[in-house]
Amino acid sequence: MKLFSTNAFVIYMKKLNEADLLLSYITEDYGKITCFANNARKSKKRFLGKLEPAMLTNIKFYEKPGMTLDILYETDIIEDYKNVRKDIDIYLFLAKITDIARVLCQERDNNKNIFYLIKAIYKSLDCIDAKAFPSNFSMSEALLKYEIYFISNLLKYTGIFPNFLTCVACSEKNTGNRFYFSLKNGGVICKSCANLRDNAGIKNLPVNFINLSNLMIVSDLSIINKLVAEEALLRECSVFLEDFLSFHAGKKPQSIGSL
């Protein structure tokens, strides 16, 4: 039996019966993997307290002939983001973005950037101290910035970041960010082409959205603290990204719209 080892975040867990679990991970070396954990809810030595969200673990797993799932052998905690679990808003937000990753990422499509993106967000949010911010600090506003940052970069790393530069129908340049957006075609569309097409899936772009999303994909997480934007604008941008992601994935992640 050959054991594979990698660092990983739990992104999905399902109880199969009184003892067994089905788990999905975003891993550092193998992309998204789904594992069967035999007797996981009763095995204190191998799994107890090590399968929770909001922690980075090292997992060992193996492939079993005739099974489509990997078999989880054991786990060890590498980093435990305890502060995250103390704030319900942050905890629910992290559950949301890991659910988005579960829906968008393909099995065994390894992309280390996605793992490091999730890790950076966990570490950053684990260190947030609202008391250290100005009196007008808004956690909901901060989490919207994190969501826009996460989805924008996830779309970039999966190769489906939208085309905002030219009309997807006629290639006219989007001067002044004045075009509409076509969900169906995954890019902007000029007014003339939009009038010639079925309006289903054609949306107005939020004001300054293109500049905001482009800024997010070329910056590190320090941009979150530097960025000044109205919460209403951030929320509109967040909804737009969620709509695009859901359309592309073919389904809406359960967590979208829950916060």
Q: How many CA atoms lie within 13 A of 248 on its CB side?
A: 22
For residue 254, CA distances in Å to 11, 33, 233, 242 come to 13, 19, 23, 11
Pair 61, 71: CB distance under 8 Å: yes
Tell me which architecture the domain covering 4-80 has in CATH. Beta Barrel (2.40)
Whether the pLDDT of residue 54 is over 70: the answer is: yes
**pLDDT band for position 259 (50/70/90)?**
very low
Both tokens assigned to 2: 């050959």
Q: 189-211, pLDDT tens digit by residue?
A: 999 999 887 777 899 999 889 99
What is the pLDDT of the chain when averaged over all its residues?
A: 90
User: What average pLDDT does the segment 175-191 reach?
Assistant: 91
Q: Which residue has the higher pLDDT, 53 or 212?
A: 212
pTM: 0.91
Pair 216, 149: CB distance under 8 Å: yes
* Type of residue numbered 89: D
**pLDDT band for position 132 (50/70/90)?**
low
Mutual angle of helices 209-217 and 231-249, in 10-degree steps? 70
Distance of alpha carbon 56 from alpha carbon 140, whole angstroms: 25
Both tokens assigned to 23: 């788990």
Q: 72-90, pLDDT tens digit by residue?
A: 999 999 999 999 988 899 9
The domain ranges of the chain are 4-80, 83-162+203-249
User: What average pLDDT does the segment 241-250 reach?
Assistant: 87
